[in-house]
Chains A and B, each alone.
Chain A
Amino acid sequence: MGQVKLMKGNEAFAEAVIRAGCDAYFGYPITPQSEVLEYLAAQEPHKRTGMVLLQAESEVAAINMVYGAAGTGKRALTSSSSPGISLKQEGISYMVGAELPCLILNVMRGGPGLGTIGPSQADYFQATKGGGHGDYKVIVLAPSSVQEMADFAGLGFELAFKYRNPVLILSDGAIGQMMEKVELSEQQPRTTSFDQSWVTTGKSPDRERNIITSLNLDPSKMELHNRKLQAKFAGMQENEVRYERIDCDDAEYLIVAYGSCARICQKTVKLARQKGIKVGLLRPITLFPYPTKIIQEMTGKIKGILTVELSAGQMVEDVRLAADGKVKVAFYGRMGGTTPAPNEVLGVLEQQFLNS
């Protein structure tokens, strides 16, 4: 068993990043994720593992520093919150285009605009449908506990290098700020075992020069490159779907929720079962690739689905696509940094499915 500590989500993530053997972090402060940079600064990771840490002049600069480091084969990451993640979108699009691996953490806050510093899940569309320009996807991991904030650091890098594609951890202000018990893994070495044949570290006589670029002015070649990327995204959909099912075996009604919202709804399930209502919870862990198949499988066995989000209704579109009209999909959301109470969700569920 690894070391057990009581930590904030943001701090657990930062500690896990060092332990995962990450090579470089570049970031810019924004609430509610500044603890990542602050924790790393206090830890002096250059002394612990030789990891590079730099506070950039902006989120735009930070993601481009990540691009440069990733282009040399290093395990680089950045973290931010919603407005800052918006600024990184061009860089993320470039990284997908140039097939560069990296890890990005978004501790979501309420928008639009400067919005609020309270927790939100309103960046779901941005995270899962591309976000920046061009046809692309990134793997999106949605932690719902401090433990997962830590665990997804290592997993995120593993997936990023497996596919040579950015991986986004889509967290929120509640998960980032709350304190929980977390079991930390052992320190991993900063050595790399993956294929290094593409990295730009200087052209040695024994190989052709390497180029990191997303540019191809020949449309037919660019289409081929797009096809290659699409095949990669299809591979992610085939192999990387992750989800958790809670009390689903005998469920008549299903709640679909992720992140902090799933934690709230877990309580709703308990309250419902105390009242004799058979409710289960499906918690998507990957938001791209989305657990479409399991929802399709479950639609035959249940009477209704309630999707709960800290947004005006974004993930619910993917749930409806999966359910394909075969079962009623209701939605309940809170916005602007507010969160629903478990019994509030239960009230909605009863009203939508039982009182009619």
Chain B
Amino acid sequence: MENQSVSTDEIVREENLVYKKTSLMTSKALSYCPGCGHGVVHRIIAEVIDEMGIQADTIGVAPVGCSVLAYEFLDIDMQQAAHGRAPAVATGIKRCWPDKFVFTYQGDGDLAAIGTAETIHACNRGENITIIFINNGIYGMTGGQMAPTTLPGMRSSTTPYGRDIALMGNPLKITEVVATLPGTYFVARHSVHTPLNARKTKKAMRMAFENQKLKKGLSFIEIVSNCNSGWKMTPTQANKWMEDNMFPYYPMGDIKVNGEMVKKKEEPKA
């Protein structure tokens, strides 16, 4: 209405931009908590698909978890799957469309508890898909209950006094487990809490999708991520806590490359 006021378009000029919305992200506002890693990983996926020019050939599968609404944010064809079943759904798609790119996007409760069988068997069959595994050590969506990845002594709404490993067992390092299976071709663990780590994740993501193109077998990328809401911390505290506690247990770096186990693991960057 006020003719003198400067419009957003005038302020946000192309030449002033150092960072812009990825073209394959929709304009829908992310529903994730501020500081959550889910959004960064979405962006990385969108960038890789965009840069490879494979939007018309990509189908994503997001099961139940905080990221169940991933299809609202990624501008690609997607299927929502039942809790834990994404690798089976992806198998069904990929077997029928061997030349398409198929990925799953799963939380730790989804992939390493209820969906363990589907995860192990898709990996073991060497399905030519990409599994993206968001390990935040907790059930984010349902309000912060213990996950198979919850650290010893870590509090959650179902382990209010800390995870007692005598009672609940040890955290499951499923990424190390799937790396032992001949069907996996590329297995790596990364994080997205700093720009450097996000860049490493993107490099791994690109490799995972390139592997699909070459029909090399299954690529599995774990992203150790924060859940500030579930952990009951501020985003900054959560990132620090993650570095101090999650990374020593879940060390960063490549675990298996080109079908071969990597001998020396990269140390976590503090």
Contact = CB atoms under 8 A, between A and B. Distances in A.
B118 A61 contact: yes
A61 B56 contact: no
A214 interface: yes
Contact of A94 (B76, B82, B100): B82
Given A24-B92, A68-B92, A212-B78, 14 more contacts: A52-B96, A61-B91, A64-B85, A64-B118, A65-B89, A66-B92, A67-B79, A67-B89, A69-B95, A71-B93, A91-B85, A200-B93, A210-B77, A212-B79
A206 to B, nearest CB: 9
Nearest to B63: A64
Q: Which of A91, A212, A215 has the most CB of B within 10 A?
A: A212
A61 B117 CA distance: 9
Interface of A: 23-24, 26, 52, 54, 56-58, 60-62, 64-72, 74, 76, 90-91, 94, 98, 200-205, 209-215
A73 to B, nearest CB: 9
B80 A214 contact: yes
A74 B91 CA distance: 13
A70 B95 CA distance: 12
A67 B75 CA distance: 21
Given A65-B89, A203-B56, A205-B56, A74 B96 contact: yes
Given A202-B58, A205-B56, A215-B80, A65 B97 contact: no
B100 to A, nearest CB: 6
B187 interface: no
B55 interface: yes
A98 B77 contact: no
A171 B141 CA distance: 40
B91 A203 contact: no
Interface size class of B (residues with CB under 8 A): 35 or more
Please report whether the interface of chain B is mostly helix, strand, loop or mixed according to DSSP.
Answer: helix
Interface in B58-92: 58-59, 61, 68-69, 71, 75-82, 85, 88-92
Interface string B182-216: 00000000000000000000000000000000000
Contacts of B94: 68
B244 interface: no
B92 A202 contact: no
B96 A23 contact: yes
A58 B93 CA distance: 17
A103 to B, nearest CB: 14
A68 B93 contact: yes
Contacts of B82: 64, 67, 90-91, 94
A72 B96 contact: yes
B75 A58 contact: no
Among all A-B residue pairs, the 5 with the closest Cβ atoms? A68-B92, A65-B92, A64-B88, A68-B89, A213-B80
B55 A71 contact: no
Contacts of A74: 96
B42 interface: no
Contacts of B80: 98, 211-215
24 contacts: A24-B96, A60-B88, A61-B85, A61-B88, A64-B82, A64-B118, A67-B85, A68-B91, A69-B93, A71-B79, A74-B96, A200-B77, A201-B77, A202-B77, A203-B55, A203-B58, A203-B75, A203-B77, A204-B56, A205-B56, A212-B79, A213-B71, A215-B68, A215-B80
